[in-house]
Amino acid sequence: MHTSSLRNRGPRFAFAWTILVLALGLLGPAPTARAEISATDVTGRQIVLKEPARRILIDDGRYLIALSLIHPDPVSVLAAWPRDINRIGPAVYAQYAEKFPALETLKVTASSAGNFSVEQVLAAEPDLAVFSLTSRPSSEQIAQVEAAGIPVAIIDFFDQPLENLETSLRFLGAVTGHGEQAEAFIAFREEKMEGIKAKLASDGAPKPRVFLEPHAARTEECCASPGKGNIGNYIELAGGQNIGSAVIPGVTGTLNLEYVIEADPDVYIATGGPHMEGTNGLLIGPGYDEATVLGTLRRVATRNGISELKAVREGRVHGIAHQLLNSPLDILTIEALAKWIRPDLFADIDLDATRNEINRRFLAVPLAGINWIDLK
């Protein structure tokens, strides 16, 4: 409207018009609608949320560690979890519960190792349900959850972590509104991995034979071993030859003692943790002192048949917390394996420095304790 028109309508109208213009200026432009969040899980499912998820249901306690890498208060975005404390370890659980007391009052849902319950999921009233790749609910069960208005996503840090970890962490970052932190950790991990790959690519030495025994000595039967994929891929990435890959078609399996002795590995690595209490296995991780860790690793390595291996005779025996293998923190496993398998190439790897950087830059609850060790 022109100024001349305002004058023609009189001073009262002009005054009212001025007030209206000033009010609109103070109010500012109309708010724009919040952009939808779109993220893709490891199966290619696209999840669309109107806002960041605030009530996530998870079926594996180790996803708490993944969320801790990207969110300062990972418990605050959970609606329910399986309370599978042994998967993260009692000492780690105690650390999280001390910092985030709400963890102890979260609703409980079935773990990926248990019986899935649609009713439990609905009772938790999540705005997003996140399940494990290898033990996800059936298509019919997923459809039931989705019919109730709850989006369902599948992630994987455990079955094929070298293929799926980045996608899984990127997904969690996107749906929680912490994508930048997720990308920062992905870049950190990738830089470490590429450094290892580059050194091995220019090296023509034969690959040392590696026997990695998961949950070592948990039973009298010998011997658990990775096959193709999963932990076996870590061994290959770190420059080793997994002795189990030639005879175990799946991700894990069992080797008989005669085969292990005949393969005569150059490096022996045992995994263990608090879940090995009450067995003859390796006790390692937060809550265990060096004497306990070394004592149980020595007991594992001096079993009948294992003590005859070249790796044991030549002092190339190591232990690592199993919680670091099936974990978003797998870069610590990769660096440990590289250092143990090819000490000539990777003497400069400093696992403590890597852990300290992860603690400083990423984890809401620092990783503590003895998580890897060499038999002295």
| pLDDT tens digits along 109-137 | 988 767 899 999 999 999 999 999 988 99
Closest residue by Cα to residue 154 from 144, 142, 140? 142
Choosing from 178, 209, 243, the residue where a domain stops is 178
Q: How large is the average pLDDT for residues 249-269?
A: 95
- Residues 134-192 pLDDT 10s: 889 999 999 999 999 999 999 999 888 999 999 999 999 999 999 999 999 999 999 99
Confidence of residue 356 (pLDDT cuts 50, 70, 90): very high
For residue 310, what are its two tokens? 């070249």
Per-residue pLDDT at 347 exceeds 90? yes
Burial status of residue 267 (CB atoms within 10 A of its CB: 0-12, 13-18, 19 or more): buried
Residue 187 located in a structural domain: no
Q: Would 5 be classed as within a structural domain? A: yes
Are both 342 and 365 inside the same structural domain?
yes
Which amino acid, 147? Answer: A
Range of the domain at 10: 1-32
- The secondary structure of residue 276, as a DSSP letter, is G
Indicate which CATH number applies to the domain containing 227: 3.40.50.1980
Tokens 């209206």 identify what position? 20
Considering the domain architecture, whether residues 237 and 212 belong to the same structural domain is answered as yes
Q: Evaluate whether residue 214 is within a structural domain.
A: yes
Q: Fill in the amino acid letter for 171.
A: F
> Domain tally for the chain?
3
pLDDT at residue 204, as a whole number: 85
Q: Based on the domain organization, do 160 and 217 belong to the same domain?
A: no
Q: Are 224 and 364 in the same domain?
A: yes
State mean pLDDT over 45-70. Answer: 96
| Coil, strand or helix at 137 | coil
Q: Which helix (H) or strand (E) holds 195?
A: helix 179-201
The pLDDT-based confidence of 86 (bands split at 50, 70, 90) is confident
Residues 24 and 105 in one domain: no
What percent of the chain has pLDDT above 90?
82
Give the pLDDT of residue 134.
86
The dihedrals phi and psi of 223, each to the nearest 5 degrees, come to -145, 140
88: pLDDT strictly greater than 70: yes
CA 113 to chain centre: 17
What is the enclosing helix (H) or strand (E) of 257? Answer: helix 257-263
191/251 Cα distance (integer angstroms) = 26
> Domain check: are 153 and 208 in the same one?
no
In a domain, 123, yes or no: yes
Whether residue 6 has pLDDT greater than 50: no
Same domain, 242 and 286: yes
226: Cβ contacts below 8 Å, ≥ 6 apart? 212, 214, 232, 235, 242, 244, 245, 248, 251, 252
Mean pLDDT of all residues in 218-237? 89
**Is residue 306, in this structure, part of any structural domain at all?**
yes
Is residue 339 located within the same domain as residue 275? Answer: yes
Residue 236 pLDDT > 50: yes
Are 208 and 289 in the same domain?
yes
Mean of pLDDT values over 219-248: 92
Taking every pair of C-alpha atoms in the chain, what is the biggest distance, in angstroms? 107
Average pLDDT, the chain: 91
Q: Are 159 and 251 in contact (CB under 8 A)?
A: yes
- Tell me: do 148 and 208 sit in the same domain: no
Main-chain dihedrals φ then ψ at residue 160, nearest 5 degrees = -130, 70
Inside any domain, residue 185 = no
Q: Over 70: is that where the pLDDT of 26 sits?
A: no
How many helices (H) and strands (E) would you count in the chain? Answer: 15, 14
Q: Which of 225, 334, 320 is nearest to 282 (CA)?
A: 320
Quote the pLDDT of residue 17.
45
pTM: 0.88
Structure confidence by residue, pLDDT tens digits, 290-301? 999 999 999 999
User: By C-alpha distance, which of 152, 165, 90, 85 is closest to 116?
Assistant: 152
Same domain membership, residue 262 and residue 156: no
Statement to judge: residues 25 and 101 lie in one domain = no
Residue in the block written with tokens 């590995």: 265
The tokens for 231 are: 């932990």
